[in-house]
Structure 1
């Protein structure tokens, strides 16, 4: 039995070490190192979705210890690794591998939409904690972000002989926390999807694929998102700043819900569904603004159930 446990343990520790190496590669600079930094959670997801949640915990803690040693005892960098990569990977793996037997005797896996909502909840919590920690600073969290961006911009403007903008002129500051959280959520989802795809390719996956076309978001999220939007438009000062960033973060599930409608419709086509999706995502990332359409499409899906209507209208099915 000891020999049987040794191999998973070695794989988990190895995954943590590789993850730490990817994370620390950012210190070396360069575009390639930046890509490796983004892929730091990938080994944790590979280990966890293959060997289970305990392996993900071992890999994450190993990675945290390796980052601590690799930065000569920098607790701040190690904690950042744990909060942004290891702990989210542990939680996503745990929730993704939850399953139960329904009344028909079929194995029912934890919904992918709720896994996504867990990441969104972590992002919201991070913004709230940051606002609390910056409460005694001039201007609160928004003031801290504005001053930080103004300091970063000053050398760039000075090098061109231009006057650097003051903190109040940095328009991006009002939305930066939400944009950072969105970037983190997207990269976490991408790493999890890459890991699941690689494991399926070699027949090592525990959970069946999470189909984008089947993603569901909770009904109560729509009114919460609507209230955040109204607050972003009408609330002043710190409350408006919080509402803007919450609205940005809460838009993420609706973006994925909109994408699920696209995947669902394309999957019904019998000819060339993959090239259609590739072309769609190229347009999405090249132009950017279609993401707003995906948010709106996701809200409509949540409201009237577009996918069910498309199913009823599909060839060979009775339309109402």
Structure 2
């Protein structure tokens, strides 16, 4: 058996070990769960798609044997599926006419993950709707049960307020977290391997990210539906819109980084912007996503290019 396969099997098992505390409901396991897929990304980016596939399969089989179908399914859906998808897409390459190797750009990968999250959300909504129970009802009931379990001493009125506050956007929050979690793990793995000189592909210029056109139209369509529909359809369309807005949030951050490279004290400016986004919460996220939309349709970075020289950004 090749050495890379042995490493891949160990990576899959290590990923499961990191995820198991949270899957079993152990307190303090959330942080490890968030980075549980990191060994799989490291394996895939260092040894290729085949090794990444072996790591994914070994993690799934081990989860199935040790935890059963439910644990294996959750582990696969949350970590293994996005990890394998990102590794497979990131390792795609072709030879350009001038002879150099072109690798899959980050823009389509980011858009693809958000599309997957939106697709799973849409399927869940359709299944629950077909069974006579809307997704909004399921979310409200489950969130009510969770709050009752974790804070039984909290007054019922306060718990109801929390459900009313967080319930309408909970699917979008979970889908967005799923995408961000996968992308953060992938970026950390690539940065670590590049520092060690073990990366197979060059690290892309994230600040030059360009999104495919289809993600724009998908978000516009769901946004329009959320404005004209009502009830269950509006609930689903609103959450789909926010899930599809994640790539535009990241594109907005890319614009901000592009701008920071062209101003004095750019690092300080970046820290201030990130702090402001963190402080204002949802409003900051939406404004940043709006900047990404303007970039996608209007080319803000092209207009910013000038004082520092250079060419228009292109995804690479």
TM-score (norm 2): 0.89
Q: How many residues are treated as equivalent by the alignment?
A: 309
Alpha-carbon spacing, 1:237–1:168, altered in 2? closer, same or farther (3 Å) = farther
How many angstroms apart in 1 are the aligned matches of 2:267 and 2:83?
28
Q: Which residue in 2 is equivalent to 1:15?
A: 11
Determine helix, strand or coil for the equivalent of 2:201.
Answer: coil
- The structure whose Rg is larger is 1
Say yes or no: does 1:191 pair with 2:188.
Answer: no
Q: Give secondary structure in 1 for the equivalent of 2:213.
A: coil
Q: Secondary structure at the match of 2:58?
A: helix
Per the alignment, residue 39 of structure 1 pairs with: 35
Cα distance, 1:138–1:154 mapped onto 2, change above 3 Å: farther
Residues 124-163 of structure 1 aligned to structure 2 (within 5 Å): 124-155=118-149, 158-163=152-157
2:245/2:289 contact within 8 Å kept: yes
Tell me the CA shift for residue 165 of structure 1. 5.8
Residue 224 of structure 1: how far off its partner (Å): 2.9
- Number of the residue aligned with 1:116: 110
Larger deviation: 249-258 or 136-145? Answer: 136-145
> Would the alpha carbon gap of residues 80 and 105 (structure 1) be closer, same or farther in structure 2, given more than 3 Å must change?
same
Where does 1:41-56 land on structure 2 (aligned, <5 Å)?
41-56=37-52
- Which residue of 1 is the match for residue 57 of structure 2? 61
Cα gap change, 1:278 to 1:169, in 2 (>3 Å): closer
Using the size of structure 1 for normalisation, the TM-score is 0.88
Checking the alignment, whether the CA contact within 8 Å between 2:135 and 2:236 is kept in structure 1 is no
3-state SS of the aligned residue for 2:98? Answer: coil
Residues 163/30 of structure 1: CA separation in 2 closer, same or farther (3 Å cut): same
Give secondary structure in 2 for the equivalent of 1:217: coil
Equivalent position SS for 1:208 = coil
Q: 1:156 to 1:163 in 2, by over 3 A?
A: farther
Equivalence for 2:314: none
The CA distance in 1 between the partners of 2:293 and 2:302, in whole Å, is 14
**Contact 2:44–2:87 under 8 Å retained in 1:** yes
Match of residue 30 from structure 1: 27
Cα 1:215–1:132 shift into 2, 3 Å: same
Higher RCO (CA < 8 A, seq sep 6+): 2
Q: Does the 8 Å contact 1:212/1:259 carry over to 2? A: no
